[in-house]
Amino acid sequence: MNYETLLKMVGTSRDSAMLRYTLARHLSDSGKLAEAQSQLETAVEMNPGYTAAWKELGKVRDQAGNPSGAAQAWQRGVEISQENGDVQAAKEMTVFLKRLQRKS
Protein backbone atom coordinates (compact mmCIF):
# COMPACT_ATOMS: atom_id res chain seq x y z
CA MET A 1 0.00 0.00 0.00
CA ASN A 2 1.12 3.51 -0.62
CA TYR A 3 1.59 6.16 2.04
CA GLU A 4 -1.57 8.12 1.24
CA THR A 5 -3.76 5.03 1.51
CA LEU A 6 -2.22 4.14 4.85
CA LEU A 7 -2.61 7.67 6.14
CA LYS A 8 -6.33 7.58 5.40
CA MET A 9 -6.68 4.64 7.81
CA VAL A 10 -5.31 6.59 10.80
CA GLY A 11 -8.10 7.26 13.28
CA THR A 12 -10.45 4.74 11.70
CA SER A 13 -11.38 1.26 12.85
CA ARG A 14 -8.39 -0.01 10.83
CA ASP A 15 -5.89 2.03 12.85
CA SER A 16 -3.36 -0.20 14.62
CA ALA A 17 0.19 -0.40 15.88
CA MET A 18 1.15 -2.21 12.68
CA LEU A 19 -0.35 0.57 10.56
CA ARG A 20 1.61 3.17 12.53
CA TYR A 21 4.79 1.10 12.18
CA THR A 22 4.28 0.83 8.42
CA LEU A 23 3.64 4.57 8.14
CA ALA A 24 6.79 5.23 10.14
CA ARG A 25 8.85 3.08 7.78
CA HIS A 26 7.58 5.11 4.81
CA LEU A 27 8.32 8.37 6.61
CA SER A 28 11.76 7.24 7.69
CA ASP A 29 12.63 6.18 4.16
CA SER A 30 11.62 9.70 3.04
CA GLY A 31 13.85 11.31 5.66
CA LYS A 32 10.92 12.54 7.76
CA LEU A 33 12.39 11.31 11.03
CA ALA A 34 10.35 13.44 13.44
CA GLU A 35 7.10 12.25 11.87
CA ALA A 36 8.34 8.66 11.84
CA GLN A 37 9.25 8.91 15.50
CA SER A 38 5.79 10.21 16.35
CA GLN A 39 4.12 7.31 14.52
CA LEU A 40 6.36 4.79 16.28
CA GLU A 41 5.69 6.30 19.68
CA THR A 42 1.99 5.91 18.97
CA ALA A 43 2.57 2.33 17.84
CA VAL A 44 4.25 1.33 21.11
CA GLU A 45 1.53 3.11 23.08
CA MET A 46 -1.10 1.13 21.17
CA ASN A 47 0.80 -2.14 21.59
CA PRO A 48 3.66 -2.02 24.13
CA GLY A 49 4.60 -5.59 23.20
CA TYR A 50 5.35 -4.76 19.55
CA THR A 51 9.08 -5.43 19.51
CA ALA A 52 9.61 -4.42 15.89
CA ALA A 53 8.24 -0.96 16.69
CA TRP A 54 10.63 -0.59 19.65
CA LYS A 55 13.54 -1.60 17.42
CA GLU A 56 12.53 0.85 14.70
CA LEU A 57 11.92 3.63 17.23
CA GLY A 58 15.49 3.23 18.44
CA LYS A 59 16.81 3.37 14.87
CA VAL A 60 14.83 6.49 14.03
CA ARG A 61 15.90 8.25 17.22
CA ASP A 62 19.53 7.35 16.53
CA GLN A 63 19.30 8.65 12.96
CA ALA A 64 17.71 11.85 14.28
CA GLY A 65 20.69 12.46 16.56
CA ASN A 66 19.03 11.36 19.80
CA PRO A 67 21.30 8.59 21.12
CA SER A 68 19.84 8.63 24.63
CA GLY A 69 16.33 8.26 23.22
CA ALA A 70 17.55 5.45 20.98
CA ALA A 71 19.12 3.66 23.93
CA GLN A 72 15.93 4.05 25.94
CA ALA A 73 13.82 2.55 23.14
CA TRP A 74 16.20 -0.35 22.58
CA GLN A 75 16.50 -1.10 26.29
CA ARG A 76 12.73 -1.24 26.59
CA GLY A 77 12.60 -3.29 23.42
CA VAL A 78 15.05 -5.82 24.84
CA GLU A 79 12.93 -6.14 28.00
CA ILE A 80 9.75 -6.63 25.98
CA SER A 81 11.46 -9.09 23.63
CA GLN A 82 12.69 -11.18 26.53
CA GLU A 83 9.22 -11.18 28.10
CA ASN A 84 7.72 -12.30 24.78
CA GLY A 85 10.42 -14.89 24.08
CA ASP A 86 11.54 -13.01 20.95
CA VAL A 87 15.19 -13.96 21.27
CA GLN A 88 16.26 -12.66 17.86
CA ALA A 89 14.85 -9.16 18.42
CA ALA A 90 16.48 -9.01 21.85
CA LYS A 91 19.84 -9.98 20.33
CA GLU A 92 19.56 -7.39 17.56
CA MET A 93 18.68 -4.55 19.92
CA THR A 94 21.47 -5.59 22.30
CA VAL A 95 23.91 -5.28 19.40
CA PHE A 96 22.49 -1.84 18.54
CA LEU A 97 22.95 -0.76 22.16
CA LYS A 98 26.58 -1.93 22.19
CA ARG A 99 27.32 -0.08 18.95
CA LEU A 100 25.71 3.03 20.37
CA GLN A 101 27.85 2.80 23.49
CA ARG A 102 30.98 2.48 21.38
CA LYS A 103 30.08 5.67 19.46
CA SER A 104 29.79 7.63 22.70
pLDDT digits (tens, 9 = 90+) for 5-19: 999 999 999 999 999
* Alpha carbon of residue 20 to chain centroid: 9
pLDDT in tens, 76-98: 999 999 999 999 999 999 999 99
Domain span at residue 11 reads: 3-103
Q: What is the pLDDT at residue 103?
A: 87
Q: Is-above-0.85 flag for pTM?
A: yes
Question: How many structural domains is the chain composed of?
Answer: 1
Q: Which residues contact 96 (CB under 8 A, 6 or more apart)?
A: 55, 58, 59, 62, 70, 74
Q: Which residues contact 9 (CB under 8 A, 6 or more apart)?
A: 15, 19
Q: What is the pLDDT at residue 3?
A: 84
Domain with residue 61: its CATH number is: 1.25.40.10
**Cα separation, 90 vs 104, whole angstroms:** 21
